[in-house]
Structure 1
Amino acid sequence: MSKVKIGCGGILIIIIISIISIVIFLNTAFGKKRYTVNIEQNIGGTLVCDVEYSSDHKTWFYFIDYKYKLKEKVYNFGKGIYRGVEWNESNQLHKCQNWTILPTESDFGFIKIIAFDLEANKKKESKISPHSINEDIVWTSKRIKSLLAASPSSVEVEKIVDNKFFIKYTFRTDRENVDNLDVRLIEYELDEVSGAFNMRTISELKEKPIYNLIFN
């Protein structure tokens, strides 16, 4: 009888430990986590990133609230959202004329460029997505074939030179074949009055994208 009790007790302990382990795993894998990252800036000051990490069985998100500490002042730059990718924990601000510029991401991997005039306390956000690209008059004037409603498509910052952002836009050109992709390098230039980034030029890239390497 005592052996039966000991056996039942051991099984009960194993079940309790298993339940606790499952709860810990679910909270870690599918829960929320908050933390702060302080990034020292090459232009001076500190970019304070208050991060909320959230995940489910499909994907994960980083919701980031950016604040810029410079001397005794704190400037609220706004928010960024990263979906299914890791965020840039070494992100640097860029200085151009009277604007301080922060590149980040918005919903569904779209690019958001935040320009902040610290002296005038004026802020401007420019969102760059496949939809905004295809509606721009510079793009439509080129008559480039792109299937806006068809996935996959992606935008990413290729490089930053002075007051210009160069965006690599990868898009689908064939409704039947998902592997038929094309890519363009698009130049956006800062409007030093409004703080907006406007499309200027579009150029072809020699290397054609491969679906499995870019989107998988």
Structure 2
Amino acid sequence: MILLKTDIVGVIFLIIYILFTFTVMITPSILTFLLYKFAKKKNKVLKIISLCFFIGVTIFMSYQSYKLITEDEKESFGPKYETVEIPQKIGGVLICESLYTADFHSWDYNISYCYKENDSLYQIGTARYSGEKWKKDEQFVKYGNWLLLKVSNSSDSDKLIIFNIITKETNEFIVSPETIESNIIWKSENIRSQLNYSSTISKIIDVNTNGVFKVEYVYRKEGRTLFDKHGEREIVYKVDAKNGIPRMVEIKKM
């Protein structure tokens, strides 16, 4: 099941992370301060030693905090460029040129794919992983004269890259709420839904060697109640063996 993303969850996580980091950073200084208070009652030499230790620990932890923040900012906000080569089970190598960027709200991996087969190199498409980890594990699925590659299109939708091994041509099929709900099969189901809501999610969950792929679609219900806002359907597509165009064939309740 797809976990719906909400801003409030992100805010809560950020608050917990800040509190945890602050606690970890300040604890050594508090302990050394307590040591100083204890030593202050004993003798002057121990008092001076503990005071120096307290000042040293405070300076060290302050430096580490500054270093952590600046390094995280540099790493988190990018831009960061990376080339990743993923050996394919069907043969050949998928070459991924990645550009990572981020801001305070989210982050993006923008990927450009090339397929290397023997000494030939083919541009096959792009992907965007937004607000999610790019796992660097994409694998082609071979179906007749077609290679199928499931990738992310955005934070709430996927797409299927369809590469013809004969003509070397590529098509992309975006699985979005608009694509799903404009289909005649969806309309025939008379499912009451509302488009253009941020909580609608359409993700490919399986692609097999028969050219069939399944999509989990979470949609906003029309006439919803407080505790029943969303509906879910499994959308089944099949790629046409002749022209490589995906066709919706079935809608299942989940």
Tell me, yes or no, whether TM beats 0.5. Answer: yes
**1:26 to 1:105, Cα distance in 2 relative to 1, 3 A:** same
TM-score of the aligned structures, taking structure 2 as reference length: 0.69
Match of 1:67 in 2: 114
- Contact map agreement 1:165 1:187 (CA 8 A) in 2: yes
- Contact map agreement 2:84 2:95 (CA 8 A) in 1: yes
Hey, what's the Cα distance between the residues in 2 that align with 1:177 and 1:151? 17
Q: Quick check: 1:201 aligned with 2:250? A: yes
SS of 1:77's partner is strand
Please list the CA deviations of residues 59-94 of structure 1 after superposition, one character each: whole Å capped at 9, or x if unmatched: 000001111111111111111001101123111101
Match of 1:140 in 2: 187
- Which amino acid letter does the alignment assign opposite residue 164 of structure 2? D
Moved segments of 4+, more than 2 Å: 13-26, 174-180
**1:203 to 1:20, Cα distance in 2 relative to 1, 3 A:** closer
Hey, what's the Cα distance between the residues in 1 that align with 2:197 and 2:65? 44
**1:169 to 1:50, Cα distance in 2 relative to 1, 3 A:** same
Of Structure 1 and Structure 2, the greater helix share is in 2
**1:71 to 1:150, Cα distance in 2 relative to 1, 3 A:** same
Hey, what's the Cα distance between the residues in 1 that align with 2:200 and 2:227? 10
Match of 2:48 in 1: none
Q: Residue 33 of structure 1: which of 72, 80, 89 is its match?
A: 80
Hey, what's the Cα distance between the residues in 2 that align with 1:140 and 1:85? 31
Q: CA RMSD in A?
A: 2.3
Q: Quick check: 1:150 aligned with 2:177? A: no
Q: Residue 43 of structure 1: which of 87, 90, 93 is its match?
A: 90
Q: Quick check: 1:166 aligned with 2:214? A: yes
- Which amino acid letter does the alignment assign opposite residue 235 of structure 2? I
SS of 2:194's partner is coil
**1:22 to 1:186, Cα distance in 2 relative to 1, 3 A:** closer
Q: Give 1:176 shift.
A: 5.3
1:98-137 superposed matches below 5 A: 98-137=145-184
What 5-or-longer segments of structure 1 have no aligned partner?
A: 1-12, 206-216
Q: Give 1:19 shift.
A: 7.5
**1:146 to 1:63, Cα distance in 2 relative to 1, 3 A:** same
- Contact map agreement 2:224 2:230 (CA 8 A) in 1: no
Hey, what's the Cα distance between the residues in 2 that align with 1:69 and 1:144? 43
Hey, what's the Cα distance between the residues in 1 that align with 2:65 and 2:253? 56
Hey, what's the Cα distance between the residues in 2 that align with 1:18 and 1:84? 25
% identical aligned pairs: 31
Match of 1:80 in 2: 127
Q: Give 1:29 shift.
A: 2.1
Count of residues paired in the alignment: 194
Q: Give 1:156 shift.
A: 1.4
Match of 1:6 in 2: none
Q: Give 1:145 shift.
A: 1.3
What 5-or-longer segments of structure 2 have no aligned partner?
A: 1-58
Please list the CA deviations of residues 127-181 of structure 1 after superposition, one character each: whole Å capped at 9, or x if unmatched: 1101111111110011111111334111112222321001110112145537521
Match of 1:210 in 2: none
